[in-house]
Amino acid sequence: MAIVDVIMPQMGESIAEGTITKWYKKVGDKIAKDETLLEISTDKVDSEIPSPSAGLVAELLFPEQKTVDVHTVIARIQTDVHAPLMPVPEHVQSKTENPTPEIGSTIDSSLEPVTIRQSTSAETNRFFSPLVMNIARAEGISLSELEKIPGSGANNRVSKKDVLDYIERRKSGGATAYIKPSTAGTPSGSVEVIKMDTMRKAIAEHMVRSIHTSAHVGSVAEADVSKIVAYRERHKTDFEKREGFKLTFTPFFVDAAVKAIKDFPLINASVDGDSIILRKDINIGVAVALENGLIVPVVKQAAGKDFAGLARAVNDLSNRARTKKLAPDDVQGGTFTITNPGIFGNLFGFPIINQPQVAILGVGAIKKRPVVINDAIAIRSMVYISMSYDHRIIDGALGGMFLQRMVQYLENYELGIMN
């Protein structure tokens, strides 16, 4: 008789915990594989969690509204429905205090894709002593954060003193100042204090960390997308009839970005200490605004999809983002992100890089503008595309060339793209 553990999934790379909002089953209930077992809420996404296995619900380890660390075992499914419900031995019931080392021993192999791959941690070349790792764990310093601490030891090793100094700096201002309530700066007069919810805190943390991590620099290019606008106008009815959803502009930009990334692969990278990690898969994150925040689901293996495939993927992900049906895997593994400041009519924006990526593209509003073509003034559908990129590894030349290559792809969209 096999017991399959259900773990709190990691719904995003920076997510450390989730709240169980509703159990759909009780102990003893039958459940099918992929049938919804519970609903969870994290700081990025609310999601229904399917059962990893068919069987009987053997144990629900936490009550509703309880917040637990990711990778904690939260329920157990007994796969043999005919066996009596067996109590699980004491020693495996304990909650994982320190999730990482226990992952292998507590989760069923079918769930393994959900385990954390901490950004580029496995590829680190820097040595951290047991003590430094220990302090980092106790203080909640991630490996990628550790890697950024300049070391004063031999071969620039981060010593105990370095990490303690870092913690001191962090406490006294530094990277997490945004979380620390300011005692000096409470404004007087008529105010309303709004507590950040978990999603807001996570966004705040990620944004400030990104600013502290990457040397942001921006470029803006202008593209004439009249052909795309006309093409969409002509085909949108057929498209919707055939595909069952509306054709938006987003897949055009995703497609152009994928093509330009193939030409300039350094855009699709991460920085790990003094190494540049080229990401061979092109996984495009597409920012989706939600009622109270935003989430960035990822179009995986975008290079292997044709236009219709990209359009379907974008539609599917944004739908599921809005209906809280994203799976953990949907929001992980992005290598490049596209966001859309134009959705509210703005011309362009200056987005913040989605770590550990090195570039993010902002698509402005498509507007008709008078432009000069061959010394004549014409009315064309124009868009500004802006890109923030990490100047540590991407120079202005590369960033500019990449944007211009995107412009070329956008302006020369040929027929037959909807094959």
Partner 1 sequence: MPVISYIDAISRGLWEEMERDSSVFLLGEDIGEYGGAFKVTKGFLHHFGSDRVVDTVLAESAILGAATGAALVGMKPVAEMQFADFVTCGFNQLVNNSASIHYRWNLPVPMVVRLPSGAGIHGGPFHSRNPEAWFFHQPGLKLVAPSTPYDAKGLIKAAIRDPNPVLYFEHKRLYRHIKGEVPDGDYVVEIGKGDIKRPGNDISVITYGAAVHLALEAAEMLEKQSGISVEVIDLRSLMPLDKDLILSSVRKTGKVLIAHEDTLTGGIGGEIAALIAEFAFESLDAPIKRVGARDIPTPFAPTLEEYFLPNKERILTALRELAAF
Question: Which part of the chain contacts partner 1 (CB under 8 A), choosing from 20-28, 150-158, 347-355, 376-384?
Answer: 150-158
50: β partners: 36
Q: Classify strands 216-224 and 376-390 as parallel, antiparallel or unpaired.
A: antiparallel
Cα(305)–Cα(281) distance, rounded to whole angstroms?
12
Written as six digits, the tokens of 297 are 């689901």
Q: Is residue 21 a contact point for partner 1 (CB under 8 A)? A: no
From 159, 198, 248, 319, residue interacting with partner 1 (rule: CB under 8 A): 159
Give, rounded to a whole angstrom, the gap between the first and last alpha carbons of the chain. 50
- Residue of the chain from 154, 372, 376, 397 that contacts partner 1 (CB under 8 A): 154
Position among 14, 124, 129, 248 found at the interface with partner 1 (CB under 8 A):
129
Judged by CB under 8 A, the stretch of 38-46, 157-165, 303-311, 373-381 that binds partner 1 is 157-165
Which one of residues 81, 131, 179, 415 is an interface residue with partner 1 (CB under 8 A)?
A: 131
Provide the minimum distance between the beta carbon of 176 and partner 1 in the complex, in angstroms, as a whole number.
24
Q: Is 132 in the site for partner 1 (CB under 8 A)?
A: yes
List of residues 6+ apart from 269 with CB closer than 8 A? 276, 277, 278, 279, 335, 358, 393
If binding is defined by CB under 8 A, does position 150 make contact with partner 1? no
* CA 197-202-205 angle, 5° bins: 125
The CA distance from 156 to 127, in Å, is 10
Shortest Å, Cβ 164 to partner 1: 10
Nearer to partner 1, 142 or 159 (CB): 159
416: which residues sit within 8 A by CB, 6+ positions away?
A: none
Cβ of 374: how many Cβ atoms within 10 Å? Answer: 5
Q: Which runs of consecutive H residues, i.e. helices, occur in 140-225?
A: 143-147, 160-171, 198-213
165 is a contact residue toward partner 1 (CB under 8 A): no
Token look-up 């990104």 returns: 210
Read off the amino acid at residue 273: G
Question: Is 391 part of the annotated catalytic residue set?
Answer: yes
| CB closer to partner 1, 148 vs 157 | 157
- Of 134 and 404, nearer to partner 1 (C-beta) is 134
Q: How far apart are CA 52 and CA 267, in angstroms?
A: 36
Nearer to partner 1, 164 or 215 (CB): 164
Query: Which of the stretches 68-76, 126-134, 331-339, 410-418 binds partner 1 when contact is defined by CB under 8 A?
Result: 126-134
Binding region for partner 1 (CB under 8 A) out of 107-115, 116-124, 155-163, 245-253: 155-163
Contacts of 415 (CB under 8 A, 6+ apart): 231
- 390 annotated active-site: no
Length in residues, the chain: 419
Judged by CB under 8 A, does residue 100 bind partner 1?
Answer: no
Residues that bind partner 1 (CB under 8 A): 129-134, 153-154, 157, 159-160
Active site residues: 391, 395
